[in-house]
Structure 1
């Protein structure tokens, strides 16, 4: 048999060659090898490359090779680095496909079988596989961009032209299985130094005619270990420039076949450079100016003809790189995170810098926040906000009111949108979001209290105290759990979410379920306050006269039964028709009822509250979507009808009937994710159709024995912290420093 047929026969026996570079991973190597050897799929080989590792890795590899003929070991005489070690292993592979793994990670059970099946069905040049991230704590997190593998459903094979979003997936070697001859024919090799994947991972996507996607976790990536070079301040981060030079060289060599991708590669390169230099843990401070100069040089050298800047903040950064405006970039972008708002502003700022010897001067509003952050913090100032500055509401409102009584020495200021100013009660000090005073108080306040995250530009001062109250018990998947549900996680930046939760000093829990979920989905070093929800204090303090006044203001006549219908937002059905016809329900309820409709704030059209008087024996229907205080609506209602909204957990404190209307439970659970089965543990009667919902009221089931029993059990699980003193407890712990 000649050499070529013999090589072909050997490849037929080996579908997948695993290339495994090894260097100083003695603690992780055995689990990595065990995960490979334990696969049920057997048509694979491992080419393990001992990169002159100074520990016991070489001996471990030899031990495994003696016991498993599928493992071959190459011992290098000197340390060459990850890229060259991969190249050395690749040259010795025999399989039809090659998978480059890192030896401190491991592959999932049955990963090779799943990959082999996908390779057989699609015969791709490149196969992307999904991965999960393993944090130093041992917790496993999903790939935040896994939805790109499945949404929209991909064809069997595709190319970069038809699916440019694959460029947003990680450009590492280990999440791709590559056809060996395809890679060899391209003549690509991994680079020397850091970012060694880039000269392979980008070019193969540009050249591939057949790309396949596998939406299955096949790889477990170990989050950067302490001392990992990519997370270390080092001159080696300059290696990134040489790696992208290889990519642009590939574009030049391949000519028209890949020219259409030049602008995308240029964008990725400049984005990557700005990401590196904005991270203070990478480029040494003494060489940051030099690094930025190399960025500007690459911008001029590789900018494609007719190039258009990306929109928004990224385009602003690119313009500063183009002008080599390092001082202005350092002052405006990484330091204070304030977004520049127009091309003209940037042009004026850069021009002013040039005219004054590159002294950075720009509009006061851009530097105002950063300037005031340099001033002493104001221990007597607290800033409050709720629902992205929508107004005076929720847990922050209750804390603000309690602090005025218990900690009057701390002055509270609310940040609200301009259109919310008129809704504020008299005497509530406030600033309009984006105004100079808002920037000033946000920069200097000791306390910042919000039920959502402040904008990213409101960065954490060491002495400040961030109180994240959140705003609902998590029936639906929240935070990092949403990574598994791309429909509900549209446009979410999970890296940014981690940054924000790391800023929190205190987080409030309404019940044991919240305590469990918050600590999992919002990682941080904050103190969890199991105080109950401050906004629910009103339910324990409102007397009959106050409730009667609220009902009268809403037009509810004495003796009428008020039904509050408050559905949640459905990401999967945004813009679709409502799942309940209020006029039909009103007709069935009759004039003894008032139906209050409360849309989720994501779904309110901003037209304000409007009342519609029903006729012909119908109940009155009142739209209360724009009513500012949802706690008032709960106090006014005799019955709550909801689906998956967290309002049910708050309303349960009133011990009044709750009816769950869940016509799409399975779809909602599948697309958004939930923390428990509401159908198995409801707070009362459950209906899945309009007819069933109407019958719940006609039959009296809404408050019958079984429903009351379910409500009692629900209250036992979820209302144990609330007692009317939650806000007081928060103020005493946060503002007065008392121990709870």
Structure 2
């Protein structure tokens, strides 16, 4: 008896069926049977099902002699199901990787409930993925399993059959089956949830719900949408037959009215000439099943009035009035924004006429994010080595908590912000300030940059449209002309900056201030940071920090971190740090790593994460150059080097001069850690050569040199550079702790050797 019976009905889905079936058979939990039902499809869907059945014994092909519709096709699959739990999947949707393993683990944790509800994300043809807006209802906090009465908010989640796992014995005992017609999920899901003795939730996206541009059933104009009335007749008939469920009538009545109004207002569902008839039937059902008691939000009362009164023209008038009101409010807000912007610019012009304040400095980082990077290290150095300078930090309100108490907080776009830009002598940023900033005589602008460049930058992007996008290079050079000083970590950076950002600024080849902490931190600091992040004692913490891909419309992780951890075993922990352009966390919602996959994307300090970790996995992020200063192992995951090089371009071949071992696939990455190559002698030699080239000045004194040169005016007697051989960066927690070779099963394809 398999753990899961996955039932997939198919009709005219030949373009999507391969992906659907592969997503099931490729699950890391193989204990399943896949029942694929060909609903007499006129395309190649039946043949595709037979191909899968021929190559995998877990696939059972069911061919129906005539088209019976989605509900009855699912019933046909039910007749063949033998698994402990039933899972329904529409043939144009897909299971996410490791979804069944996560479901199996949650079922075990919650004592085999009758129903497990999990999450989904809508996926669009553009590549965009949007998670269910009611995901908060699927929280795993609190007692589990439970009854629907304990968590009625579950009814806010989309009432479909494919976001749940059902215990087969429960379904068979209650005699649940799907009716014919459209909206067949409705008389299944409501009775199932209301009747279940035990329910549990899984806060994880397990299904990608494809939003097709054309061809979806509910998006097709047809009188079959009138089937919704019979479906709700069946729901209320079930309630009538089970008096113990009568207290759900008010909620179901409100849900029915919501559903009717949704079908009516969605363009393209009801054929021309049928809308008035639909409203008449909706009004009749409203009166027949009316059960007050469930509160109706104010914003939906108009739609409920539409169903109650059944007046099409009145609703159109109300909708038009609401639309005009919205347009008027939008125009008013736009005029107010324009007026406010004009007043602020007038204020700025007036401030430019007032004397410059020689004791003021204003800092910012990454377009208004929190205190950090090179500007953050410099701001702290200003307060330490030039205490007569009063500092201010520009950041959006959600980042104000990262700014030290002694530093003034400024919100972008406010009068105080423009005053600071107009009158502060020192302006420090790792990107450019607002293009409307006017550089005054006597102002000093320090461009700190934010790393050593591997990827092409500045004017070198003119022939890289995927990376340049809509960059205005003339505007870029106007901003560059405002720079007085540019910080550089090494000779390589200096040569790149002066060529791609040509102007008359002075380059300070002093090292990067943000890396000073690597030389000043202590082992006690490392221990404290690891404890604050929840890293178990005795484990190896690996920081995973991928960079942005210019050739992708949507950013997504290239590693299955959950799979990597399963192969490496319990001694490893991954700190996953997504690039700020990533739309989803690197950890997804996976729970099967037992807390060993820690999302640190929101942590305010990347330097603290580096100190807390024992090794770094990255692809082409400039973080590798900073991390090399710590003299800790680095592993490069370069699975798409050719695509990245073609789209963005790089200044050298990282594979030929890496800071450590190089993996060209996920399996190679697993092998590098399993065989200890990640911290082997060859990796140490590569890191030493990399440090010598790119970390000659990161000795813990960079910020001090900048302040003494720029603010205090010292040109001689600056702190000398400490040679690499004499530096003692704080060791990692695992540096003195031997780690025995792993004995896990090697990844598919067998072990590989270290790739250089």
TM-score, normalising length: structure 1: 0.53
Mark the CA change 1:57 to 1:673 in structure 2 (over 3 Å): closer, same or farther.
same
User: Per the alignment, in what secondary structure is the counterpart of residue 286 of structure 1?
Assistant: coil
2:360 maps to 561
Indicate whether 1:264 and 2:251 are aligned.
Answer: yes
2:580 counterpart residue number: 674
2-side partners of 1:14 and 1:314: how far apart? 45
What is the correspondence of 1:143-222 to structure 2 with a 5 Å cutoff?
A: 143-145=131-133, 147-148=135-136, 151=139, 153=141, 155-222=143-210
**CA offset at residue 384 of structure 1?**
7.7
Asked whether the equivalents of residues 131 and 218 of structure 1 are also in contact (C-alpha less than 8 Å), the reply is yes
Residue 626 to residue 326, structure 1, CA distance change in 2 (3 Å): same
Structure 1 residue aligned with 2:71: 83
Rate the CA distance shift 1:620–1:251 in 2: closer, same or farther, 3 A.
closer
Cα-to-partner distance string for 1:533-562 (whole Å, 9 max, x where unaligned): xxxxxxxxxxxxx88x62665x864x3233
Partner in structure 1 of residue 109 of structure 2: 121
Secondary structure of the residue aligned to 1:229 is: coil
Deviations 1:82-129, CA, capped at 9 Å, x for gaps = 001111221332222111122233333433333222222221211223
> Which residue of structure 2 aligns with residue 550 of structure 1?
351
Counterpart of 1:360?
A: none
8 Å Cα contact 2:344-2:415 kept in structure 1: no
Alpha-carbon contact 2:86-2:165 (below 8 Å) kept:
yes
1:263-287 CA distance string (max 9 Å, x none): 3322222222222211121112311
- Find the counterpart in structure 2 of residue 316 from structure 1: 302
Counterpart CA distance in 2 for 1:168 and 1:101 is 20
- What is residue 130 of structure 1 aligned with on the other side? 119
Alignment check: 8 A CA contact 1:586 1:620 kept:
no
Q: Distance in 2 between matches of 1:621 and 1:634?
A: 13
Distance 2:144 2:134 in 1: 17
2:10 to 19, 22, 26: 22
The question of whether the paired residues in 2 share the 8 Å contact of 1:589 and 1:697 is answered with no
Tell me the secondary structure at the aligned position of residue 98 of structure 1. strand
**Aligned position for 1:53:** 41
Structure 1 residues 625, 152: CA separation in 2 closer, same or farther (over 3 Å shift)?
Answer: farther
Report the Cα distance in structure 2 between the residues aligned to 1:71 and 1:36, rounded to whole angstroms.
Answer: 10
What's the C-alpha RMSD, in Å, of the aligned pairs?
Answer: 5.2
Match of 2:279 in 1: 292
The change in CA–CA distance for 1:226 and 1:626 in structure 2 (over 3 A counts) is closer
Q: Is the 8 A contact 2:87 2:165 kept in 1?
A: yes
Output one character per residue of 1:318-353: Cα deviation in whole Å (capped at 9) or x when no partner.
2343233321212222x4643xxxxxxxxxxxxxxx
Q: Deviations over 1:399-435 (max 9, x none)?
A: xxxxxxxxxxxxxxx5x6xxx6995889xxxxxxxxx
The answer on whether the counterparts of 2:368 and 2:394 sit within 8 Å (CA) in structure 1 is no
Spell out, residue by residue over 1:173-215, the C-alpha distance to the aligned partner (whole angstroms, 9 max, x if none). 2221111122223332222111111111222222223222233
Contact 1:590 1:619 survives alignment (8 Å): no
Count of paired positions: 478
From the superposition, tell whether residues 699 and 309 of structure 1 become closer, same or farther in structure 2 (CA, over 3 Å): same
Pair 598,26 (structure 1): closer, same or farther in 2 beyond 3 Å: closer
Note if 1:655 corresponds to 2:453: no
Gaps of 5+ in 1: 1-12, 339-364, 371-382, 393-413, 427-545, 572-579, 605-617, 687-694, 707-740
Instruction: Decide whether aligned partners of structure 1 residues 45 and 551 sit closer, same or farther in structure 2, where only a CA change above 3 A counts.
Output: same
Structure 1 stretch displaced more, 162-171 or 638-647: 638-647
Q: Deviations over 1:116-167 (max 9, x none)?
A: 2222222121122333434334x25142437426657455434433333332
Identify the match of residue 245 of structure 1 among 208, 230, 233. 233
CA separation in 1, counterparts of 2:125 and 2:341? 46
Given the superposition, is the C-alpha separation of residues 636 and 206 from structure 1 closer, same or farther in structure 2, using an over 3 Å criterion?
Answer: farther
Q: Indicate if the aligned counterparts of 2:254 and 2:294 stay in contact, CA closer than 8 A.
A: no
2:296 is paired with a residue whose SS is coil
Q: 1 CA distance for matches of 2:274 and 2:578? A: 46
What secondary structure, in the 3-state scheme, does the structure 2 residue paired with 1:284 have? Answer: coil
3-state SS of paired residue (1:215)? strand
The answer (yes or no) to whether the contact 2:123–2:129 under 8 Å persists in 1 is: yes
Say whether the 8 Å CA contact 2:369–2:399 is kept in structure 1. Answer: no
Q: CA contact under 8 A between 1:101 and 1:174: conserved in structure 2?
A: yes
Distance 1:638 1:27, change over 3 A: same
In 1, the alpha carbon distance for the partners of 2:89 and 2:66 equals 21
Summarize the alignment of residues 481-496 of structure 1 with structure 2, pairs less than 5 Å apart. Answer: none
Which residue in 1 is equivalent to 2:269?
A: 282
Which of 389, 393, 412 does residue 593 from structure 1 map onto? 389
SS at match of 1:222: strand
- Are residue 226 (structure 1) and residue 214 (structure 2) matched? yes
Unaligned 5+ runs, structure 2? 371-375, 438-444, 448-478, 488-512, 518-528, 534-542, 546-574, 583-600, 608-620, 628-700, 719-756
Distance 1:585 1:174 in 2: 57
Q: 1:643 and 1:272, CA in 2 relative to 1: closer, same or farther beyond 3 A?
A: farther
User: Whole-Å Cα distance in 2 between the matches of residues 96 and 552 of structure 1?
Assistant: 78
Deviation at 1:80, TM superposition (A): 1.0
Contact 2:362 2:394 in 1 (8 A): no
Q: Return closer, same or farther for 1:43/1:646 CA change in 2, 3 Å cut-off.
A: farther
Deviations 1:459-487 (A, max 9, x none): xxxxxxxxxxxxxxxxxxxxxxxxxxxxx
Q: How does 1:378-457 map to 2 (within 5 A)?
A: 389=334, 391-392=336-337, 414=338, 423=343
Shift of 1:621: 6.2
Alpha carbons 1:563, 1:639 under 8 Å: kept: yes
Q: CA 1:60 to 1:337, structure 2 compared with 1: closer, same or farther past 3 Å? A: same
